[in-house]
Amino acid sequence: MRKILSRYRYYIALFLAVLGPGFITANVDNDAGGILTYSQAGARFGYLPLWSLIPITVLLIVTQEMCSRMGVVTGKGLSDLIRENFGLRITFLIMALLVLVNLTNVMSEFAGVASSLELFHVSRYISVPLSAVAVWFLVVKGDYKSVEKIFLFACLLYVTYIISAFLVRPDWKEAAIYSVKPVMVFEPSYIYMLIGLIGTTIAPWMQFYLQSAVVEKGITPGEYKASRLEVVVGCVMTDVVAFFIVVACAGAIWSVRPRDIETAAEAALGLKPFGKYAFILFSAGLFNASIFAASILPLSTAFTVCEGLGFEAGVNRRLREAPIFYALYTLLIVVGAGVVLIPQFPLIRMILWSQVLNGMLLPFILIFMILLINQSDLMGEWVNPRWFNVVAWISIVLIIGLTLAYVGILVRGG
Amino acid sequence: MAENLLYFTELVSMPVFDLKGRRIGRVKDAAVVPLVDSRRIDRLLVGGADAWLTIRYDQVRSIELGKGISLSDEQLVPYHDDEYMLRIARDLLDQQIIDVNGRKVVRVNDVTMEIRKDHGRDTVAVLEVDIGIRSIFRRLLQGVLPPRWIRRLQARIPPNSIPWDFANVVEPDPLRRLRLNISYQALEKLHPADLADIVEELSRAEREAIFETIDSEVAAEALTEIDPKMQASILEALEPEKAADIVEEMAPDEAADLLSELTEETSAEILGEMDSEPKTEVRELLEFEEDTAGGMMNTEYVVLHENAGVIDAMGALRGNEDLLEQLNTVFLVDAEERLAGAIPLARLFVAPGGAKLQELKSEPLIQVTVDEKQDRITELFDKYNLLTLPVVDEDGKLAGVITADDIISVLRQK
């Protein structure tokens, strides 16, 4: 008995040692854009779309697991590997697209900060500059370990969505049934919504961030099993949060009157009739998610780009040693936060375009990933087993098909 | 721009003409054979109709930018992968190398070469490895604009290159390292802290390759500067013999700290390979908890009998030359080896030659026992402005010393 207990303790210690990369990546995924998409789904279609969260979780796990495995085995970031195996030109193209996509993502995060705090009557001209400065300092002045702890704490704050869903008193029986019962409605807006859910869940930046974080943490092949578990748990947790967001909006908005909402703040307001706390928790969750993603995206982008193009990168370098890294990092924050303050800036249009670019970039990255992970000189015995390749290729073709469809709809509609 | 310079990006895709001026194909890659000549491009690989052909350097008549390569001998053999070749496009371009002079890891964008006249034929020699924006610019535009235009345009961007002699290729495969004549001797001259920074940047396999081959003493010094988690993974990957050699070179306290990070199996294996004297010291230190005086102390100190004089002290110092760099205190013990006093080194120099060490003792004698807690020790260092603190066992016998640099490490980790 004692032996079993000490074994158990050993595994927990191992899990804690690798805790970080997978959790953080998966949770940042529920950013301002993600929350909006889930809220829209719940507000318009109620409990119907819940079933899609299970296949989405599977797709997320399949892609994330490959990245973390590549990081563990090669000790190199994804942009490093792309550069070394596909050359400078392709890397440059991908990095240029990534900067564009992530810049618009950063804009939507700061827009999330602005609108969530406006619900508490804080002007965006105060909240956005303050958040931008805070984000800049947090990452530049902090070291990886302490920053990671702050981020892990931010992951915990997503629990606000779970509580607010309970406060709304949704129809749990319906929620349970539709979680496992796939319902297709052949209506353009429903299909569009389903594709949108996948589009916001699997994004190009995550692949880069996760792999770099795994490398930075120095996870060894010996710890890989624990690391894989961490990635899987992180992915599941993300979609559990997504579930509660959909349910909260279904209970609060759809059950009263199904309608389209345009911002996550609108969803928060929809919760107001169900009590002050439901509203406050939902809005606080939005703020947490936005600022969390706003801290990670610029850093991850600058790091990935510099890594791929061979410039010095990392917050442990001085400004003079890594000028391009800091310039890019600062630029992303300043521009991302700045445009939110420009009156009449076509932000919604920008975010739409970022989704389109996202969709154009993602296929390349997923295909590069699967090509890389099957190279035996790189991965040795850790290449994809055949069954996993089948699963991975099916997932990738599915994601690419849906993403392209999403882009098609966006371009035609926008 | 000097006319005799040639960039590798320009060489690639240059047309090759035979004796009658017929075009054979284009250059695909070029190779140095380091065992023969470390700089000269020994082979050009040309993509012909179906297979690649190999051109030896002495089969070339002329190489000219804008015109191409003319041969003087057209007996070309088909290319087969030659293990003695360092191929520029495959092995160097886009890969990471170590800039020994600049003490950092860099990514190769291009290679600058020089066309030299040699016995009436043109040969090409590698001059520099190009990193930075200028070479990225050049590579992105190569094939889009004529080479001469690119040369003119890039002139505005400051160059950033590493002389070939300071470019150290990293090759994890030991056999290939031998064939390509790659050694890491140049790294042994770096400051251990710089070497540590460099290996932290590399992938796991590359890291291990370096530690496998460099001198154990240098390896030991560099290893102590590396992140503790990475230290453990490096040692675990090395052959136990080599690991033991490195651990023997480390200060016993640091060796004990490091071994306690490893799995019991590996640490026993390494201890088994060690010489008996350092082994006993390390074993004893391994018994103590990490955050007590016993875990922090090292056993490198100079001790004298309490009746000894200044002359004896000087003699003892001469006998311990390897300790001198870190030493600032000598200790006195009585007949039972109990600690009797501490003498700052500087006092020895101003004391008359015939003086007794007893008269030079610092008062009061500050000491701790092996089980004293880390926090209390840090306090003592601060309060009494200590450089060295003696540690005694339960019988009052001198067990080891804690030095200010140990305290700095402790504080840094907080």
What is the C-alpha to C-alpha distance for residues B39 and B123, in angstroms, rounded to an integer? Answer: 11
A220 → chain B, closest CA residue = B233
**Cβ–Cβ gap B227/A87 under 8 Å:** no
Same domain, B218 and B90: no
Same domain membership, residue B395 and residue B359:
yes
B interface mutation test: which of A73, A79, A86, A88 has the most B CBs within 10 A? A88
State how far the Cα of B271 lies from the Cα of B245, in Å rounded to an integer: 10
Alpha-carbon distance of B299 to B282, in angstroms, equals 9
What DSSP line would sit under A87-130, residue for residue? HHHHHHHHHHHHHHHHHHHHHHHHHHHHHHHHTTT--HHHHHHH
What's the CA angle centered on B169, arms B164 and B171, to 5 degrees? 160
Q: Omega into B390 within 30° of 0, i.e. cis?
A: no
Question: Would you say residue A3 has pLDDT above 70?
Answer: no
Domain A19-413 coded CATH 1.20.1740.10: yes
What ipTM was assigned to the predicted interfaces of this complex? Answer: 0.79
Residue A155: per-residue pLDDT: 84
Strand arrangement of the beta sheet that strand B339-344 belongs to: B303-305, B329-333, B339-344
Contact B139 A89 (CB under 8 A): yes
Range of the domain at B146: 5-164
How far is the alpha carbon of B107 from chain A, nearest alpha carbon, in Å? 5
- Distance separating the N- and C-terminal Cα atoms of chain A: 63
DSSP string, A121-135: T--HHHHHHHHHHHH
Q: Which has the closest alpha carbon to B388: B374, B400, B399? A: B400
Paired with B43 in beta bridges are: B31, B56
Tokens standing for residue B152: 């003119």
Residue A393, SS3 per DSSP:
helix
CB A23 within 8 A of CB A237: yes
> pLDDT, tens digit, for every residue of A364-393?
899 999 999 998 888 888 888 899 899 889
CA distance A311 to chain B (A): 7
Q: Is residue B171 part of a domain?
A: no
Residue B294 lies in a domain: no
Q: Do both B53 and B130 map to the same domain?
A: yes
Structure tokens, B230: 């990475």
Q: Which of B164, B196, B223 is the last residue of a domain?
A: B164
Is there a single domain that holds both residue B262 and residue B322?
no
Q: What is the per-residue pLDDT for A368?
A: 94
Q: Encoding tokens for residue B97? A: 């190398």
Q: Do B227 and A220 touch (CB under 8 A)?
A: no
Q: What is the pLDDT of residue A67?
A: 93
Q: Which residues lie below 8 Å from residue A39, measured CB to CB, with a gap of 6+?
A: A245, A246, A249, A261, A264, A266, A267
Q: Which of A75, A80, A88 sits opposite B204 (nearest CB)?
A: A75
Higher pLDDT, A5 or A363: A363
Average pLDDT over residues A116-120: 89
Q: How far is B22 from chain A (nearest CA, A)?
A: 31
Shared-domain flag, residues B277 and B339: no
Same domain, B28 and B145: yes
Q: Determine the Cα angle at B135 with ends B130 and B137, to 5°.
A: 170
For residues B12 and B130, state if they share a domain: yes
Q: How many CA atoms lie within 13 A of A356 on its CB side?
A: 13
Among partner residues A84, A92, A218, which is closest to B233 by beta-carbon distance? A218
Nearest Cα to Cα of residue A238 among A40, A28, A15: A28
Q: Does residue A290 register a pLDDT over 50?
A: yes
Q: What is the number of structural domains in chain B?
A: 3
- C-alpha atoms less than 13 angstroms from C-alpha of B143 in its C-beta half-sphere: 11
Question: β-pairing, B121-130 with B15-17?
Answer: unpaired
Query: Residue A102 has which token pair?
Result: 């992530």
- The 3-state DSSP composition of chain B as helix, strand, coil percent (nearest 5) reads 40, 25, 30
Helix segments in A186-322, DSSP class H: 188-201, 204-217, 224-249, 264-270, 276-309
Contacts across the A-B interface (CB distance below 8 Å): 42
Bridge partners for B98 per DSSP: B105, B168
Side by side, the strands of the sheet bearing B368-369 are: B368-369, B388-392, B398-403
Most A-contacting residue of B9, B93, B107, B130 (CB-CB within 10 A), to test interface = B107
Nearest to A218 among B94, B109, B229 (CB): B229
How many Å lie between the alpha carbon of B370 and the closest alpha carbon of chain A? 28
Please state, in angstroms and rounded to a whole number, the distance separating the CA atoms of residues B47 and B37.
24
Q: Establish if A92 touches chain B: CB-CB under 8 angstroms.
A: yes
Considering the domain architecture, whether residues B15 and B154 belong to the same structural domain is answered as yes
Structure-token match 């002495």, residue found: B58
CB B207, CB B215: distance < 8 Å: no
State the CB neighbour count (10 A cutoff) for residue A352. Answer: 15
Q: Which of B129, B204, B231 to mutate to test the interface with A (most CBs of A within 10 A)?
A: B204
Q: What is the pLDDT of residue A333?
A: 95
Same domain, B158 and B19: yes
Residue A356, CA distances (Å) to A37, A201, A414, B195, B242 in order: 15, 14, 10, 45, 54
Cross-chain Cβ contact B139/A88 below 8 Å: yes
- Say if B41 falls within a structural domain: yes
Set of chain B residues whose Cβ sits within 8 Å of the Cβ of A88:
93-94, 109, 136, 139-140
Helices (H), B125-275: 133-141, 147-154, 174-179, 185-188, 192-201, 204-213, 216-224, 228-237, 240-249, 252-261, 264-273
β-strand partners of A320? none
User: Cβ contact (<8 Å) for B204 and A88?
Assistant: no
pLDDT band at A1 (very low <50, low <70, confident <90, very high): low
Residues 6+ apart with CB under 8 A from A2: none
In a domain, residue B65? The reply is: yes
**Cα–Cα distance between A351 and B336 in angstroms, integer?**
79
Q: Could you give the CA distance from residue A350 to residue A111 in angstroms, rounded to a whole number?
A: 12
State how far the Cα of B263 lies from the Cα of A165, in Å rounded to an integer. 46
CB burial of A264-284 (b: ≥16 within 10 Å; e: otherwise) equals bbbbbbbbeebeeebbbbbbb
Distance from C-alpha of B199 to C-alpha of B338, rounded to nearest angstrom: 44
Interatomic CA distance for residues A100 and A95, integer angstroms = 9
CA-based nearest residue to B88, from B151, B142, B130, B122: B130
Nearest Cα residue to A365 out of A28, A95, A102, A59:
A95
B128 with B97, same domain: the answer is yes
What's the whole-number mean pLDDT along residues A26-55?
Answer: 89
Closest C-alpha to A292, from A153, A162, A164: A153
CA of A223: which chain B residue's CA is closest? B233
Residue A29 has φ and ψ, to the nearest 5°, of -60, -35
User: Quick check: A270 and A252 in contact, CB under 8 A?
Assistant: yes
Cβ <8 Å between B136 and A92: yes
pLDDT given for residue B1 in this prediction: 45
Residues contacting A345, CB < 8 A, separation 6+: A339
Q: What is the domain-level CATH number for residue B402?
A: 3.10.580.10
Nearest to A310 among B106, B203, B227 (CB): B106
B39 within 8 A of B30, measured Cβ to Cβ: no
Residues of B in contact with A312 (CB under 8 A): 104
Residue B216 and residue B127 share a domain: no
- Rounded to 5°, the CA angle A297-A86-A317 comes to 40
In this prediction, the residues of chain B whose per-residue pLDDT falls under 50 are: 1
Which residue is it, tokens 């004796």? B19
Can you spell out the DSSP letters for B84-113?
Answer: T-EEIIIIITTSEEEETTTTEEEE--EEEE
Lookup: tokens for A246: 């959909």
From chain A, pick out residues whose CB is under 8 angstroms from the CB of B109.
Answer: 88, 310
Question: What is the rounded end-to-end Cα distance, in angstroms, of chain B?
Answer: 53
Cα separation, B282 vs B298, in Å, equals 9
B223 within a domain of the structure (yes/no): yes
**CB of A189 less than 8 A from some CB of B:** no
List the one residue out of B35, B33, B19 whose CA is nearest residue B44: B33
Residues B121 and B60 sit within 8 Å (Cβ to Cβ): yes
Q: What is the mean predicted confidence (pLDDT) over A206-234?
A: 88
Q: What is the mean pLDDT of residues A190-207?
A: 84
* Nearest residue in A to B208, CA atom: A75
Q: Are B79 and B45 in contact (CB under 8 A)?
A: yes
User: Is the residue at B271 inside a domain?
Assistant: yes
SS3 B343: strand
**Does residue B38 fall inside a structural domain?**
yes
Report yes or no: A160 and A281 within 8 Å, Cβ to Cβ: yes
CA A379 and chain centroid, separation: 26
Residue B173 placed within a domain: no
Residues of chain B with Cβ-Cβ distance to A220 below 8 Å are 204, 233
Interface of B with A (CB under 8 A): 93-96, 104, 106-109, 131, 136, 139-140, 202-205, 207, 227, 229-230, 233
CB contact under 8 A, A75 and B203: yes
User: Are B136 and A88 in contact (CB < 8 Å)?
Assistant: yes
Among B296, B259, B330, B255, smallest CA distance to B407 is for: B296
Same domain, B261 and B197: yes
